[in-house]
Amino acid sequence: MQDPYAPIPRALAELALSRAAKSGASDAQLDLLRARLYSPAPVPNELVRRAAAQAGKLGLASTWRNIDATRFTFIDLFAGIGGMRLGAELAGGRCLQSVEWDPACQHTYHQNFGEVPDGDITALKPRKSKFKQHDLLLAGFPCQAFSIAGRKGGFEDTRGTLFRDVAEVIAAKKAAAFILENVKGLVLHDKRKTLPVILNTLTSAPVKYHLAAPSLDAKLSARGWAVLNALDFGVPQHRERIFIVGFRDKKAAERFAFPVPETPEIGRAHV
């Protein structure tokens, strides 16, 4: 995966701005280009689209493509209204594809990001051709029990669940990493049978990824997962979620660190 914070060469940024100014760009248009050129995280999507269009009019289309090439790519499965996508974009990512079946969520997602997600993930087959190649896979899949969980504890135990669809996409597209999100209750779900099957599926054939090292700061964490509370990261909401993280590269998995909670009082002060 490319470094999402890799800076755009200053010389390239200054050249783009200089050419835009000489071509008669307005101050507002220059501000859009400047924000996109010098910020590692993207400005709101609508501004990005407007700036991209302006870059084309000014003869800077190739420069814009070079800038976009520095961003990591991701797909957004079980996207909801785009919460995980927003976080990935703020980290510098570029979304290539989204999937969400609920019509109301699709409508809101379209309002937020200017695109309507693909619908039923179970119908998007074959996986290799229906999903675009990407660096990072995001998925907030539903919490479902496995019909024979505990017998083999692997890929075959996931038949008939939507997690199976996620696992199939991971296995088919072989992204550099994945981040899966679910409710905290997944840890205890189905008498603690569900989570081990998920983790075993992700580490064995045909998926075969390496799980991230456990968090040293989270109250609930083990190899591959941690329960994080939005309240500990400056958000005025008690929202605990489990995040499951894996990498194709074993060294990357060992280097990864779950985020350390910020000063808890910052978030709780707003409750």
Q: Which residues are known to be catalytic?
A: 143
- For residues 266 and 234, the answer to whether their CB atoms sit within 8 Å is yes
H runs (alpha helix) in the chain: 10-22, 27-38, 45-57, 61-68, 83-90, 103-113, 127-130, 162-173, 189-192, 194-203, 250-255, 264-268
- For residues 233 and 201, the answer to whether their CB atoms sit within 8 Å is no
Q: How far is CA 88 from the centre of its chain?
A: 5
Rounded Cα distance, 106 and 202, in Å: 28
Phi-psi group of 160: left, alpha or beta (phi > 0 → left; psi -120 to 50 → alpha; rest → beta): left
Rounded Cα distance, 35 and 127, in Å: 36
Residue 258 phi/psi, 5° resolution? -60, 150
Rounded Cα distance, 252 and 97, in Å: 24
Rounded Cα distance, 165 and 230, in Å: 27
- For residues 188 and 173, the answer to whether their CB atoms sit within 8 Å is no
| Terminal C-alpha separation, the chain | 37
Question: Which structure tokens are listed for 185?
Answer: 């209750």
